[in-house]
Every structure is written in C-alpha cells, then in structure tokens.
Amino acid sequence: MDDVILGCVDAIGGQAGNIGRQAWLAAGYPEEVPGVTVDRQCGSSQQAISFGAQAIMSGTAELILAGGIQNMSQIPIAAAMEVGKQFGFTTPTAESKGWQHRYGDEEISQFRGAELIAERWNLSREEMERFALSSHQRALAAIRAGHFDNEIVTVQVDGLDFRIDEGRGRPRWRRWRRCRPCVRAAGSPLRWRARSPTAPARYCWPLSRRSKITSSPRGLVCITSAREAPTRCSC
C-alpha cells in the first residue's frame, strides 16, 4: 500500500486530526503507510479517488486506498462552518474582505446553487421533481433487489441492526407536489428532494495494471482523466 486518501468535509470531533491516517491506524494496519484527508466539499470522496488515480497514472504509486467518510449522525452538515462561532467568528465568507468585495452577501449553499442552475438552463419544478422521484424509486428498487447488500456493513444500535439507507420508503408524486419551496418564499422551483443525511464511509482500491496484487477485482473502472473545472458564476 502506497497511500491512504480519504475525503471528509466537516473535519471536527472524531473526524479531526487527519481521519484518513487515523482510520487506517485504528483498523490495525501498518504504521509505515501514510494517510491524508482532502476536502472538496461534497466531491471530497470522488476527489480522493481522483488523486489516487492521478498518483497511479503518474507512476508515483501502484496501490492506493481511497474513499470518503462523513458521520452526519454525530457531526451535522456544515458543522465545520459553524464551530468558529464559539471563538467569535461568523462564517468563513463573512470574515473575508476579499470575498465580500467580490461576491458580497450572496448566499453560498447547494440550494442557491441549484436555483442558479435552474435559472440558467430554464429547468422547471416538474422536470426536477420527476427526475428526483425517479431517482428515489430506482434506489428503493435496488435496495429491495439486494443490489447494495455487498456494499453495506451492518451497524448495530440499541440492539437493532441497520442495513439499509434511509431513503423515502414510498415516494408519491401527489405528495411531493404539495411541498412548499425550501429556499425562497415564492417563485423557487426547489423543494426538499435531496437524499437522506447518512453516516457513510466507503473505500475502493485504485491500482495500476502492473501491480502485484493477486486477488481478483470485484469491479473494474478505467480512469483515463480526472480534472475539476467549476463553471464561471454569473450571480
């Protein structure tokens, strides 16, 4: 093993102090293997895999453990953005004069980003809700068919076994249509259609073709390129 690369957004509490390295050591694996934690917000775990693939493609590594972790049942979403308030800070964007000069008080969130996307490409509420409904229905069908059974480790809490994700058990179109906007008072196409907050951790093993690993892969993904290029904002 050449390196452990782990994505994590809110690196506080049990996720602080380089969880990528600590998780490896806590599992009892060799101390000589390094580890690092990366944060690209919601794309953190994908970025960890991209960094691992890039290391292998460059020839500086042959075997990488990459993935992500986010214990949202103990550390709520955006906790790292809020924790500074106990030290007298507001938010990272509000504390930056450069940011304020460039963007002002524009809300920075996935909700606002989704609104900008809907405005830019003229997406209607019904289009997005039909797509979201289909996503929930397909996920539920895959869970019932057992397609995720070999990807999920059962966790026991208070004597109960948790084996599945917390998606909508019975998504219905008529119920969704009655929901109010979750961002603006009026005119917003956005309703609460996101996936459920969970406490996931997932890993994979990017490796080179010449790696001397004898076990058979459970899945094969050929990564030929990995890059990130945010679209220019017109807000």
Class of domain 1-77+197-235: alpha beta
Predicted TM-score (pTM) of the model is 0.75
Q: Return all residues near 51 (Cβ < 8 A) that are at least 6 apart.
A: 5, 38, 66, 226
Mean pLDDT of 23-43: 95
Mean pLDDT of 84-108: 88
Q: Return all residues near 154 (Cβ < 8 A) that are at least 6 apart.
A: 161, 162, 163
Query: Which has the minimum average pLDDT: 112-116, 156-160, 175-179, 184-188?
Result: 184-188
- The gap from C-alpha 9 to its chain's centroid, in whole angstroms, comes to 8
Q: How many CA atoms lie within 13 A of 175 on its CB side?
A: 8
**What's the pLDDT tens digit per position in 152-173?**
888 888 888 887 766 666 777 7
Q: Indicate where the chain has its CATH 3.40.47.10 domain(s).
A: 1-77+197-235
**Would the pLDDT of 233 be above 70?**
no
Mean pLDDT of 228-232: 61
Residue predicted with more confidence, 24 or 118: 24
First to last CA, the chain: 44
Pairwise CA distance, residues 113 & 151, whole Å: 31
pLDDT at 215: 61
